[in-house]
Amino acid sequence: MNNTLHIVVFQNPTPANYGGVIDVFYRLQALHQAGVNVILHCFYYDNRDDISALQHLCQKVYMYPRQVGMKNQFSLTPYIVKSRRHPQLLKNLCQDNHPILFDGLHCCNVLHHPALKNRVKWVRMHNIEHDYYRQLAKNESNWKNKLFFSIEAYRLKRFERIVQHAHGIFAVSLADQDYLQQNYPHVPCYHMPCFHVEQARTEGYSDQPYLLYHGNLSVAENQNVVKYLLKNWQAEYPPLYIAGKNANAFASLVGTANVQLFDQVEEQQLNQLIKHAKANLMLTFQPTGFKLKLINSLLLGGFCIANEQMLSGTTLYNTCLVAQNWDELTTHIAAIGNTNWSEKEEQIRQEALAAYSNQAHVSIILSLISKKN
């Protein structure tokens, strides 16, 4: 059986330091461990051109510079797609007849090309992109960015129908799967949450009194959550730790001594903060796609307090305390104040996370490759 697979990705997945590329990198790792020979086609930008960490995971790696700049804005084709056009990509894909996995709408420019008409093609959807960009526009305060996100949402909605040329779609959430099945009923759609770091759980969860919120705080979605927390946090509450890129930008909003900011934390330090927090606050006001930091917090930590928007499209409701408003949030915080992480809670967590393992996800791809052969 030939287990060779082309994968076209939107960015160099190394270093694996944010949601989308984490999914790509650990998918490559899982496929390699399963014996799949990956031919990787990688668009890159922001000086992410070092592929040394990919060489042992892939049979071959092709690199294509992303064409960023204003000239690609003046088109009905989404900017995130048009800036990822390269004539060599199609030539390289046509060197054999192996199946192709396109990562995100970003990479689907040649999905419907006549030269690939008889090829098996799958699309990995990271979000319902036009919804994601519409939410970005809603949360953005800079008018230029808001305009770009709004226009891009319109373009992505038009472009999305290109997935009709795929033989299958991998959706990151159940909500996304429902949407795709309703809109493209003739294309099989599989629920495949994000691939992620898998670490063995050890004792010592939720043994410190602080609450933790973490994320990339240069992103408007996360900035809005931080502003919400800082606006409402009171001196009598437990310590609140806010960790992530750009955290120090919120120093002027800190009104109580029990709030601490951690800027530019390294992965190992962040993992320790997640593990020992009395609870990880999993809040979002943008119910799109799948929030990888939810899985990380469930894997690495103990108590999690999440809102509906964070859990939407998952089967993880029983792993978190659900809070839809500030009163419910503070009620949960008070309830767990003197509570230790228990064996029962650990069992519930482990059972729920089994469906989100990399092994479960990669088995779907292996099954489809096997059918193709």
Domain CATH number, residue 235: 3.40.50.2000
Q: Ramachandran region of residue 69, left (φ > 0), alpha (ψ -120 to 50) or beta?
A: left
Flag whether 183 is in a domain.
yes
In this structure, the answer to whether residues 368 and 337 fall within a common structural domain is no
- Please name the residues in contact with 200: beta carbons below 8 A apart, sequence gap of 6 or more: none
Q: Which long-range contacts (CB under 8 A, 24 or more apart) does 339-346 make?
A: 339/303, 340/206, 340/207, 341/205, 341/206, 341/207, 341/302, 341/303, 345/302, 345/303, 346/201
CA atoms of 232 and 222, how far apart (whole Å): 16
Q: Are residues 54 and 72 in the same domain?
A: yes
Which contiguous run of DSSP H or E holds residue 122? strand 121-125
Are 340 and 361 members of one domain?
A: no
- For residues 47 and 184, membership in a common domain is answered with yes
Determine the pLDDT at residue 1: 55
**Does residue 217 share a domain with residue 173?**
no
Same domain, 102 and 231: no
287 and 184 inside one domain = no
| Domain-embedded: residue 205 | no
Within a domain: 254:
yes
Residue 139 sits in the same domain as residue 30: yes
pTM: 0.89
Residue 275 falls inside a structural domain: yes
Query: In whole angstroms, how far apart are CA 36 and each of 14, 109, 192, 249?
Result: 19, 25, 18, 44
Asked whether residue 330 falls in the same domain as residue 363, the answer is: no
Range of the domain at 192: 4-197+357-372
Residue tagged 């002027």 (tokens)? 252
347 with 245, same domain? yes
Examine the domain organization and report whether 188 and 80 are in the same domain: yes
Q: How far, CA to CA in Å, does 329 sit from each of 249, 307, 322?
A: 25, 9, 8
Rg (CA), the chain: 21
Predicted local confidence at residue 289, as pLDDT: 66
320 lies in some domain: yes
Q: According to the model, what pLDDT value does residue 19 have?
A: 75
| Residues 129 and 90 reside in one and the same domain | yes
Confirm whether 203 is domain-assigned: no
Backbone angles phi, psi at 174, to 5 degrees: -65, -35
Residue 204: inside a domain: no
Q: Flag whether 206 is in a domain.
A: no
pLDDT at 85: 95
Number of structural domains in the chain: 2
Per-residue pLDDT of the chain (373 residues), as tens digits, is 579 999 999 999 998 877 789 999 999 999 999 999 999 999 999 899 999 999 999 999 999 999 988 877 889 999 999 999 999 999 999 999 999 999 999 999 999 999 999 999 999 999 999 999 999 999 888 999 999 999 999 999 999 999 999 999 999 999 999 999 999 999 999 999 999 988 777 778 899 999 999 998 988 889 999 999 999 999 999 999 999 989 999 999 998 899 999 998 888 899 999 999 999 999 999 877 678 889 999 999 999 999 999 998 899 999 999 999 999 999 999 999 989 999 999 999 999 999 899 999 999 999 999 887 6
Place of tokens 């159940």: 174
